[in-house]
Chains A and B, each alone.
Chain A
Amino acid sequence: MGQSVASIRSGIAAKIAGITGFQESKQTPDYFGRTQDTIAHLGFTVGVPSSAASEDRQRRTVGVYLNTQYRVIFAYRFRPLDAYPTDYDLALDKESEVINTVLESYSTNNQFTLKYNGSSRAVPDSQEYIIITIDYTANHTI
């Protein structure tokens, strides 16, 4: 019994990809948003910044009980004349949709629990996009 870090990551990515318009980026999560090519409307990435051991015996027959941080980053394009407040609010609605979609139940590879931790939002100087970062914690055993 257990679930790998990668399978949870891909499960989250599949959930988001199921939302209309969202496409997974080809760039690694750490570089999402740093180059122009990676920024596309509703482009997203799911990164795994860190894992930490939870208190348990780490018996080989059971595995290692972890809490792993997952970071969803996506971009939402602002139209020049509607950047604020129309598109800004639409982007926030998309964020809410992503938060809730990721927290839905998983039919396969579902041996983990997921908790929303928080969001952060940044608009670059060009005001072309807003980049929204959403953090979750998964409890699972590997």
Chain B
Amino acid sequence: MAYSIIPKTKRDGKIELIDGTGSPVTLDIAYEDGNFSFSQPDKYSELVIMDRGNITTIRRQDEQTLSGSFSFFFRQFTDGSEAGSARDFINKSGNYAANISTGATGVPYVEHYCIDIKYTAEGTDFGDEADSTVTLSKCICSLDFAEGDPSAFTLNFTTYGGATVTGPA
């Protein structure tokens, strides 16, 4: 099928948090800016070797992580019985206290509690063969809170399990 001719916008996006349970517990992020971002550097950092100012050799160095962030509006901090709190989801607390880390199995092993984050850009509604997705595995998350109109959280994450992308074949 032809390469998609539809640039995607924030109206097409969806962010989903996923835990490591067999049938994963998931949470769709709602009430958000639509500013999901992530950066994926080359797998290895570069060691640039110079010979009196001239680049002579580039060697692979350490494996690098992915990182990213997105914001969403503050509605409540926690809830012990109702689904919906991203803060609870990334902290394994409240309604999500029984969640299982995605970093407990596989490589690399992650001792911290971590989750997968999946971003989906709608495509089939516009004639694409499939939606485009990226799943960022084994993300350790932190949360910033800022009061304002409206008050908002910013979720920052570092991904240790890499990114898996899917889309039209």
Contacts and interface: CB of A to CB of B under 8 A. Distances in A.
Interface of A: 54-59, 61-62, 65, 67, 113, 115, 137, 139, 141
A58 to B, nearest CB: 5
Contacts of B32: 56-57
Contacts of A57: 10-11, 13, 32-34
- By size class, the interface of chain B is 10 to 19
A139 B11 contact: no
B149 A56 contact: no
Contacts of B53: none
Contacts of B28: 61
Contacts of B11: 57-59
B47 interface: no
Contacts, number: 32
Contacts of B35: 55
A65 B32 CA distance: 9
Contacts of B92: none
A62 B31 contact: yes
A139 B34 CA distance: 17
Nearest to A139: B150
Nearest to B9: A57
A56 B33 contact: yes
B83 to A, nearest CB: 14
A58 B12 CA distance: 9
A65 B75 CA distance: 13
Contact of A139 (B13, B14, B149): B149
B76 to A, nearest CB: 13
A9 to B, nearest CB: 20
Interface in B76-90: none
A67 B73 CA distance: 14
Interface in B1-50: 10-11, 13-14, 28, 30-35
B29 to A, nearest CB: 9
B46 to A, nearest CB: 36
A59 B30 contact: yes
A55 B70 CA distance: 13
A139 B75 CA distance: 13
Contacts of A65: 31, 73
Nearest to B75: A1
A59 B32 CA distance: 10
Contacts of B150: 54, 113, 139
A141 to B, nearest CB: 8
